[in-house]
């Protein structure tokens, strides 16, 4: 059941009819946004194409945040979301076979779908939902393509910085939070 105790509609097939879906009303979406959101709400969506284009990435992140009414609840400027996404995307290695932007965006998609499932419906407060979605995007930012053990054993600068404890995880979290806190994600 949804937060109000009623069973919320989980379909956007009636988009444009003014139906309420999670935090947004479908009449607030233009047709392409409605179709994008409907497509994004499927486990069969290939996120690789979406992840390739920066503008498409930004619009999908905005849709995810809007879907859970996070933009309105936290008064997040659209430009701040776009700057954060672009800055984060630029810090993912293009050489990494796995820990790259496509993987980060796929993780966002999976996290979005799990949060949208009946198991999580209304379970988490908005700040936790926002945190999970942003963490999904930043969870491997600036990954070097090596394991924590390798970084510790080679006395890499990151291993020294983080005292050999969860080196990569600490670095990903630090980088993501630094971009968020700066308010100037593009710098």
Among residues 99, 109, 143, 172, the one annotated as catalytic is 99
Q: How far is CA 24 from CA 88, 111, 118, 126, 175, in A?
A: 26, 18, 17, 14, 30
Instruction: State how far the Cα of 32 lies from the Cα of 43, in Å rounded to an integer.
Output: 19
Instruction: State how far the Cα of 24 lies from the Cα of 35, in Å rounded to an integer.
Output: 14
Contact of 143 with 151, CB cutoff 8 Å = no
Among the listed residues 68, 38, 41, the one whose alpha carbon sits nearest the alpha carbon of residue 132? 68
Q: Using the structure block, give the residue that is written with the tokens 């700040």.
A: 127
Maximum Cα interatomic distance, the chain, rounded to a whole number of Å = 60
Contact of 15 with 31, CB cutoff 8 Å = yes
- Please list the residues that pair with 25 across neighbouring strands: 20
Q: Which residues contact 29 (CB under 8 A, 6 or more apart)?
A: 15, 37
139 assigned to active site: no
Catalytic positions, written as ranges: 99
């Amino acid at each position: 059941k949804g937060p109000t105790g009623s069973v919320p509609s989980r379909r956007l097939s009636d988009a444009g009819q003014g139906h309420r879906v999670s935090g947004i009303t479908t009449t607030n979406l233009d047709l392409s946004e409605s179709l994008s959101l409907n497509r994004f709400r499927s486990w069969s969506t290939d996120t690789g194409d979406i992840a390739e284009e920066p503008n498409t990435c930004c619009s999908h992140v905005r849709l995810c945040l809007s879907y859970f009414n996070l933009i309105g609840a936290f008064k997040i400027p659209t430009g701040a979301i776009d700057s954060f996404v672009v800055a984060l995307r630029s810090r993912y290695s293009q050489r990494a076979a796995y820990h790259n932007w496509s993987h980060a965006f796929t993780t966002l998609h999976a996290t979005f779908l799990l949060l949208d499932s009946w198991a999580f419906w209304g379970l988490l407060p908005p700040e936790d939902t926002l945190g999970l979605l942003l963490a999904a995007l930043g969870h491997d930012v600036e990954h070097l393509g090596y394991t924590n053990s390798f970084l510790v054993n080679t006395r890499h600068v990151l291993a020294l910085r983080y005292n050999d404890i969860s080196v990569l995880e600490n670095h990903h979290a630090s980088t993501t939070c630094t971009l968020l806190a700066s308010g100037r994600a593009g710098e």
